[in-house]
């Protein structure tokens, strides 16, 4: 999960612009150079002060996770929209997993950089991001879970497994092609994802509480 710094400035459009500049610049630099820039180099390229960078992120690695979160957010919106329009949940889930993997492959250098980040929870890389997505998916599908302030073992286990498969697939270390990877991965996900509630919750009931956490 990206640190609370980014969330704390969400309402200020100036900070939103600078955070977007950091994310866009990092993605561009990683695509062109395939090497991790220093905070100073990234800030200069983004047209901000070095101190401004630390208003949003603790490290370049955390900023990389934020970029990937943005990619997944767009995929989540399509996923949820398709589900509410009556599309087959299994087909939607497989398509989303496929698109997530394709996105990571296109941003391979950025993903490798993000994979070195350790969050405050102890999870590495995009692990926290994937846990957040599971939480958001439960919320958006009306699947209840009472785990208090802590992540459930099931969600941490699932997120770690998905991250592992993504890492192997991006590195080309799997025994099947991308479409088959998504199908096999979907089959390994928890039963509640395979069998979502018959009736979806009212989308307007918590629309004001949506944040940057998004799901498959």
pLDDT tens digits, 57-100: 999 999 999 999 999 988 988 988 998 888 999 999 999 999 99
- The model carries a pTM of 0.84
d(CA 135, CA 152): 10
Quick one: pLDDT at residue 5? Answer: 52
CA nearest 170: which of 93, 112, 113? 112
| Average confidence score pLDDT of the chain | 85
Domain extents for the chain? 60-209
Bridge partners, 124 (sequence order): 118
The domain 60-209 having CATH identifier 3.90.400: the answer here is no
DSSP conformation class of 146? -
Residues 81, 27: contact at Cβ < 8 Å? no
Cα–Cα dist 44/50, whole Å = 8
Quick: pLDDT tens for 162-215.
999 999 999 888 888 878 999 999 999 998 888 776 777 776 655 444 444 444
Asked if 107 contacts 68 with a C-beta cutoff of 8 angstroms, the reply is yes
| Of the candidate ranges 33-42, 120-129, 145-154, 169-178, the one whose mean pLDDT is the lowest | 145-154
């Amino acid at each position: 999960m990206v640190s609370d710094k980014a969330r704390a400035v969400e309402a200020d459009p100036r900070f939103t612009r600078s955070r977007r500049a950091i994310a866009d610049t990092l993605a561009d630099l990683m695509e062109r150079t395939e090497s991790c820039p220093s905070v100073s180099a990234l800030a200069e390229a983004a047209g901000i002060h070095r101190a401004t960078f630390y208003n949003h992120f603790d490290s370049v690695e955390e900023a990389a996770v934020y970029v990937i979160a943005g990619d997944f957010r767009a995929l989540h919106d399509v996923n949820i929209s398709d589900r509410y329009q009556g599309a087959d949940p299994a087909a939607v889930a497989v398509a989303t997993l496929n698109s997530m993997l394709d996105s990571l492959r296109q941003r391979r250098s950025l993903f490798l950089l993000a994979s070195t980040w350790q969050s405050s929870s102890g999870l590495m890389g995009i692990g926290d991001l994937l846990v957040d997505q599971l939480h958001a998916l439960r919320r958006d599908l009306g699947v209840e879970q009472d785990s208090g302030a802590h992540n459930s073992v099931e969600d941490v286990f699932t997120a770690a497994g998905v991250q592992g498969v993504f890492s192997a697939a991006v590195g080309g270390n799997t025994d099947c092609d991308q479409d088959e990877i998504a199908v096999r991965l979907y089959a390994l996900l928890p039963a509640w994802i395979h069998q979502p509630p018959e009736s979806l919750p009212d989308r307007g009931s918590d629309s004001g509480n949506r944040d940057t956490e998004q799901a498959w």
